[in-house]
Amino acid sequence: MRIKPLGILVVLLIMGVLAYFALKPRLSGSTTDSTTSATTSPTIPGSNQTTDNTTAAAAGSTTTPGTAAAGPTEETREFTYTPEKPENGTLRGVVEVGATGFNSFVINMDRQKRWEIVSKDFGESLAYEGLATTADIRAGLKKYLSAMFDKGVANRNMHFVISSGAQKEPKTAIISNELKKMGYVVNNVTAEQEGKLGFSATVPPAFADNSFLVDIGSGNTKISWQENGRLQSIELPGAKYYEKGIADEQVYNQVKTLVAKLPENKRNIGFILGGVPFTLAKQHRQGQERYTVLRDPGAYQAVDKKMASGLTIYKALAEASGTDTFVFDWDANFTIGFLLSLNQ
C-alpha cells in the first residue's frame, strides 16, 4: 500500500517527538555539569574556604607559631652603614670550638678597636667525625692552625673560645685539653658573655644607644643592649629546642614575655646573628654586601625543623619588640667581640 504525503508527514512528526523525549535527560545533565564546574571551586578539607587565589593569599598571610608560610614578595631593603677602616692594624685570629667543628676568623684590628674581616671559615675545615683519637685531634689541629698562620697571624695573636652551647658536648672537652697541651689558652664563655661580646662586634657605635643585638644559636638565643653605659643580656631558648620536646607555642610565649625586658628606647634596629638568620639572609643577599636586611618572618618558607623553630623565635621577637628592621651582619661574630675585649 502506498502511503500518502500527509501520512509521511505525520510519521515524521511522531518520530521527532519520540527522539526529543529520549534525548532530553542527557542534554539536561550535560548542561548542569557544565554550569556547576564553571561556578563552584573545590573546598579545602576541614575548612569553609575555597581554593581560589584570593583565599589562598589570605590564608598564607597568617601563620601560627612554628610554621612558615610563603608570604608576598617584599621589596629588598638596604642598610648602607659603612664601618671605619682600621689604620696600622694587626692581624688577629680567633677559633670558636663548636659542637661539631670549628669556626675561625682572622681580622685586621687597630688600637682604636676598628676592625675589618680578612678571612672567615664556618665549620668546614675540621669536622669532628674524622678525629677518632687524641693523636688524630692533635694532627688535625696542627694542620688547621698552620693554615691560619699562613694568612699572617702570629702565634701569640691566636685565640680559642668555646661557646656556652658547645661546652655541653663531650668532644669539645677533649679538643680543649689537646689545645692546652699545645700551649694555648682556651676561653670558656657563658651565654651572657656571648650576648655582650656579640653586641660589641656587631652593633655600630652610631646605633649602640638605641638598638639591640639578637643571636639565635642552636643551643640558646641571646639578646643584648647597652643601658647606662653597661651591656645587658638575657638568654632565650635556641633553635633546637624541639630536641628537648618543648612545644612551639611554649617557646613563642616565653620569647614574647622575656623580650618585654628590652627597653622601649632600644628597639630602633635589631642586629641579628646566628645559623637560622644566616640561612634566611642567604636567600636574598644581593652580592657581597656586609649587611642584609631580613624580611618579615612570614615571608620565609621553612625547609626543616630547625629553620621552622628559628622562625618561631624570630616571629615572637619581631612581634614583641615591634621592631621592623632586622639587619644580618655577614662578618661579625661573638668571638670577634672577644678579640675586641682583649687589652692591646
Domain residue limits at 227: 191-337
Range picked from 62-66, 67-71, 161-165, 249-253 for highest mean pLDDT: 249-253
What is this structure's pTM? Answer: 0.74
Q: Are 114 and 240 in a shared domain?
A: no
State residue 81's pLDDT score: 92
| Mean pLDDT value of segment 52-57 | 31
Residue 8: band (very low, low, confident or very high) from pLDDT cuts 50, 70, 90: low
More confident residue, 309 or 29: 309
pLDDT > 80? residue 89: yes
Residue 29 inside a domain? The answer is no
Among 142, 174, 189, the domain-final residue is 189
Tens-place pLDDT, residues 208-233: 999 999 999 888 999 999 999 899 99
State residue 137's pLDDT score: 79
pLDDT > 50? residue 68: no
Residue 9 inside a domain? The answer is no
Domain count, the chain: 2
Q: Are 153 and 247 in a shared domain?
A: no
More confident residue, 163 or 15: 163
- The answer for residues whose C-beta is within 8 angstroms of residue 212's C-beta and 6 or more apart is 199, 203, 223, 224, 225, 262, 266, 267, 269, 270, 271, 321
Q: Are 184 and 225 in a shared domain?
A: no
Separation CA 183–CA 189 (nearest Å): 19
Among 151, 173, 189, the domain-final residue is 189
Neighbouring-strand partners of residue 186: 160
Q: Are 105 and 116 in a shared domain?
A: yes
C-alpha dihedral over 167, 170, 173, 178, to 10 degrees? -140
- The answer for residues whose C-beta is within 8 angstroms of residue 286's C-beta and 6 or more apart is 76, 292
Q: Are 96 and 229 in a shared domain?
A: no
> What percentage of the chain reaches a pLDDT higher than 70?
74
State residue 35's pLDDT score: 39
Tens-place pLDDT, residues 138-189: 887 888 788 889 999 999 999 999 988 788 878 788 888 888 998 999 999 9
State residue 99's pLDDT score: 65
Residue 222 inside a domain? The answer is yes
Cell of 242: 624541639
Tell the burial category of 30 from Cβ atoms under 10 Å away from its Cβ (0-12, 13-18, 19+).
Answer: exposed
Q: Are 176 and 204 in a shared domain?
A: no
Q: Are 111 and 166 in a shared domain?
A: yes
Residue 257 inside a domain? The answer is yes
State residue 63's pLDDT score: 34
What is the CATH classification number for the domain harbouring 137?
3.30.420.40
Residue 56 inside a domain? The answer is no
Separation CA 185–CA 263 (nearest Å): 37
Helix (H, G, I), strand (E, B) or coil at 164: coil
- Cβ-contact 237, 246 below 8 angstroms: yes
Mean pLDDT across the chain: 80
Residue 331 inside a domain? The answer is yes
| Mean pLDDT value of segment 32-61 | 32
Among 161, 189, 217, the domain-final residue is 189
Q: Are 238 and 158 in a shared domain?
A: no
Residue 35 inside a domain? The answer is no
Residue 263: band (very low, low, confident or very high) from pLDDT cuts 50, 70, 90: very high
Q: Are 293 and 175 in a shared domain?
A: no
| Mean pLDDT value of segment 98-127 | 81
State residue 67's pLDDT score: 39
Residue 78 inside a domain? The answer is no
Q: Are 196 and 163 in a shared domain?
A: no
| Mean pLDDT value of segment 292-313 | 96
What is the CATH classification number for the domain harbouring 225?
3.30.420.150
Q: Are 227 and 168 in a shared domain?
A: no
Q: Are 202 and 165 in a shared domain?
A: no
Rg (C-alpha) for the chain, rounded Å, is: 32
State residue 19's pLDDT score: 57
